[in-house]
Structure 1
Amino acid sequence: MAPFLSGGGYSSESWSYILALNEHVKNPRFKLAIEHHGDLQSLQFWEGLPHHMRNLAVELYNTECRTNETVVICHSEPGAWYPPLFDTLPCPPTPGYGDFMAVIGRTMFETDRVSPEHVKRCNRMDFVWVPTDFHVSTFIRSGVDPAKVVKIVQPVHVGFFDPVNCDPIDLASIGKPVLGLSNMNTSSKEFVFLSVFKWEYRKGWDVLLKAYLEEFSKADGVVLYLLTNPYHSGRDFGNKIVNFVEDSDLEKPDDGWAPVNVIDTHIPQIDLPRLYKAADVFVLPSRGEGWGRPLVEAMSMGLPVIATNWSGPTEYLTEENGYPLPVGRMSEVTEGPFKGHFWAEPSVDKLRALMRLVMSNVDEAKAKGKQAREDMIQRFSPETVAGIVTDHIKDILSSKI
């Protein structure tokens, strides 16, 4: 049970598991069934799915399960678990926890701890799956029963996100200029920085803009593309960026701002590999990530990645396959559901240096991108992760016999 039709992070992750299990588990001792749960449905996301995924969704939605033979996986934030704190189909469904063979919570957090209410909900589960060693540590330290916490990494579809299988998308045709002007009339190709995120403070868009605009000017021949969407905010991203720059201490270079373009239109799932293919480097100075889905997608596409060296990305980002961004300090979350928790403040100065380094050492960056794809194939391919999930479910089934 997961937000399969929402298009958010939990949605994409749940799909990655379903596809992995459906494609790579042969003659299992179990069958798959799915139910939408945990978030609103998005018709736009559904229509952007490849036909084979839509057909699979219908097939698995219609698969029937016997309650006492069922392992329920509640793949969502714990506030959606029974009893849910908002209007959603409860997970596990009625009659309740004790009537199923086992109930598993799959979740993650982007901060240094788990709230007491969520700890209580985790401890109702038979197991709690988390994606990284970072989460194993934070969940147990917060009070979740260590015997229940299991690390199950997230798969990335390395066959779908494969640079040899697609041509780059035309970024200029979908990006809206916000600052600066691209050198479209010159024969030289611009160096493209790409970031993908929902518009919220946690994602560090302010850190990215400050570092990029302080380090580069129009003369550098670079361009920054931001693919973003609203998160409890309006869609006027251009105005938000302009207001941020005007309210900051940033000084406009003599030859003009380095270009910043926003992509705020929906990019269908089927076109995402083409988006990554059009970039030279992916950058996301987030204050905290549960996993970092766009990061592993970019790495699977062979892109060098700059990302904050804290929380989820520490599971897969190394000096050999990318550019871990040092944390300047930890800061307290001042609003929202994680108020009072702490997360990372990535270093603006170190981000400036890394962005300049990647641009100035293209061969090194490409080598790291190549290693990134190899690491995704070795550690996080659907086949590999399907085996991890299957082994754990088999252990549960065996223990119940």
Structure 2
Amino acid sequence: MAQPSGILWAGPIGDMGGYGNVSRNYLRALQHVGLPLHVANISLTNKEIGEEDMNFLSHIQRLNRDPGDDPVLIIHGTPESFVGIKKDGFKKTIGITLFETDRIPLHWANFCNEMDEIWVPTQFNFRTFTESGVDPSKVHVIHYPIESGQYTKQFDPYPFPAEVKSFKFLYTLAFDYRKGLDLLIPSYCEEFSDTDDVSLIVKIYVPGWISQENLSELVSSYIPNKKNNPHIHFIIENTPREDLLSLYSSCTCYVSTERACGWGMPQMEMMAMGKPVISINWGGVTEFMNDHNGFLIEPEQELEFVHPELQRTRIIHYYGHKWAKVKEQSVRIVMREAFENHKKREEIAFQAKQDIKDYFSSQVIAEQIKARLFS
């Protein structure tokens, strides 16, 4: 098939969340594809994405070019954003999306099947989308790219308070019941004590559906009622991108207990930085994490139903869905090993940095994109 005349990209390029981060990384890859690119921002631009990304967006929008008479349309977002797309005038319509649990929401299959192609980042999602009714001939795996160079610079030390200890586990998240704080905090507190030279740093973005007061009360309920709990430091305020990278750089090891992870961009970013990462061995992270480049928490063989609050409050997206079932003991074992085994931490961090650079750079993912666009 003849190649398209250009690309019209529509996505939340200015958003500070995961979709925005991924959109900006895709745009960096699309610069290597060699087709005229026109970008439509379908979100507000949040200055907290950082100066480097703000400059990049200004640059990419100044370069907006006419995609020609026979372009492809690529929409990055949830499948609800694919509704009503007119195919006339486009060589191909492509939706880029993902989902975290063992299936996709029921209404998504029809939205996806209306597109010519659906790009998902993982083999895990190839299975969940096709098993949920999306035409397998439409679904293709295109990995999420990352610019490793952003993460290998020197960063200023993060200004921790004096009580933060030498070894720092870090978890960054926008609060959601999916993220597994109810698993991480008790596991950490039972495995370590206040005599250990260790802190758990929890950076929480407070979403609009929960108040900071209610969130603090909920998170506090996860802390066991015992006298010798190890140190936990919570960061609740919004954190500009440059400060976030400083936080990454100043911590020893990243840990995620997200039971259903669509991809795991913070894990990928920490790996690019040459930091050891702990994550559950299920879902999206299995696309780029393995025993050689990460510390993996093994889930139980059977899955469990997602958190009741998700099934109650977001019925259309989560009712009846399942995710990884993980025991606290499994989390404790891996955190203890990462804490004590300095040699393994170094080996894993070195391999992680190399793998992310070799397999997920903008240039590498641009070749994956070319293979689809020019096929």
Report the 3-state secondary structure (helix = DSSP H, G, I; strand = E; otherwise coil) of the residue aligned with 2:324: strand
Report the 3-state secondary structure (helix = DSSP H, G, I; strand = E; otherwise coil) of the residue aligned with 2:144: coil
Deviation at 1:287, TM superposition (A): 1.1
1:340 corresponds to 2:320: yes
TM alignment of 1:134-283, pairs within 5 A = 134-162=124-152, 165-172=153-160, 183=163, 190-231=166-207, 232-236=209-213, 237-245=215-223, 250-253=224-227, 256-283=228-255
Deviation at 1:220, TM superposition (A): 0.3
Deviation at 1:63, TM superposition (A): 3.3
Q: Is the 8 A contact 1:50 1:270 kept in 2?
A: no
Q: Is the 8 A contact 2:13 2:41 kept in 1?
A: yes
Q: Is the 8 A contact 1:166 1:273 kept in 2?
A: no
TM-score by length of 2: 0.89
Q: Distance in 2 between matches of 1:101 and 1:198?
A: 37
Deviation at 1:286, TM superposition (A): 0.6
1:116 is matched by which residue type in structure 2? L
For the structure 1 residues 348 and 42, does the alpha-carbon distance in structure 2 shift closer, same or farther, using more than 3 Å as the test?
farther
C-alpha RMSD of matched pairs (Å): 1.9
1:12 is matched by which residue type in structure 2? N
> Gaps (5+ residues) in structure 2?
1-9
> Gaps (5+ residues) in structure 1?
84-91, 174-181, 396-401
- Comparing 317-326 with 233-242, greater Cα deviation is found at 233-242
Give the equivalent residue in structure 2 for 1:41: 44
Q: Deviations over 1:308-360 (max 9, x none)?
A: 11110111111111111111341113311211111112221111111111111
Give the equivalent residue in structure 1 for 2:357: 377
Deviation at 1:300, TM superposition (A): 0.6
1:234 is matched by which residue type in structure 2? S
Q: Is the 8 A contact 2:156 2:246 kept in 1?
A: yes
Deviation at 1:235, TM superposition (A): 2.5
Deviation at 1:11, TM superposition (A): 0.9
1:21 corresponds to 2:30: yes
Deviation at 1:120, TM superposition (A): 0.6
TM alignment of 1:5-84, pairs within 5 A = 5-22=14-31, 24-25=32-33, 28=34, 30-37=35-42, 40-45=43-48, 48-60=51-63, 62-66=64-68, 68-83=69-84
Deviation at 1:377, TM superposition (A): 1.0
Q: Distance in 1 between matches of 2:296 and 2:340?
A: 17
Deviation at 1:264, TM superposition (A): 2.1
Deviation at 1:57, TM superposition (A): 4.0
Q: Deviations over 1:101-120 (max 9, x none)?
A: 11001000001112231011
Identity over aligned residues, as a percent? 30
2:240 is matched by which residue type in structure 1? P
Deviation at 1:238, TM superposition (A): 3.6
Deviation at 1:150, TM superposition (A): 0.5
Q: Is the 8 A contact 1:168 1:276 kept in 2?
A: no
Q: Is the 8 A contact 2:186 2:222 kept in 1?
A: no
Q: Deviations over 1:370-394 (max 9, x none)?
A: 1001110111111111121122212
Deviation at 1:123, TM superposition (A): 0.6
1:126 is matched by which residue type in structure 2? D
Deviation at 1:46, TM superposition (A): 5.4
1:358 is matched by which residue type in structure 2? A
Deviation at 1:218, TM superposition (A): 1.2
Deviation at 1:171, TM superposition (A): 4.3
Q: Is the 8 A contact 1:325 1:347 kept in 2?
A: no
Give the equivalent residue in structure 2 for 1:124: 114
Alignment partner of 1:330 out of 303, 314, 329 = 303
Give the equivalent residue in structure 2 for 1:398: none
Alignment partner of 1:296 out of 268, 275, 281 = 268
Q: Is the 8 A contact 2:276 2:348 kept in 1?
A: yes
Q: Distance in 2 between matches of 1:234 and 1:157?
A: 34
Q: Distance in 1 between matches of 2:206 and 2:163?
A: 29
Q: Distance in 2 between matches of 1:342 and 1:203?
A: 14
- Comparing 8-17 with 339-348, greater Cα deviation is found at 339-348
Q: Deviations over 1:270-302 (max 9, x none)?
A: 443322111111000111111111010011111
For the structure 1 residues 313 and 219, does the alpha-carbon distance in structure 2 shift closer, same or farther, using more than 3 Å as the test?
same
Q: Distance in 2 between matches of 1:356 and 1:6?
A: 36
Report the 3-state secondary structure (helix = DSSP H, G, I; strand = E; otherwise coil) of the residue aligned with 1:327: coil
For the structure 1 residues 310 and 223, does the alpha-carbon distance in structure 2 shift closer, same or farther, using more than 3 Å as the test?
same
Give the equivalent residue in structure 2 for 1:87: none
Deviation at 1:7, TM superposition (A): 1.2
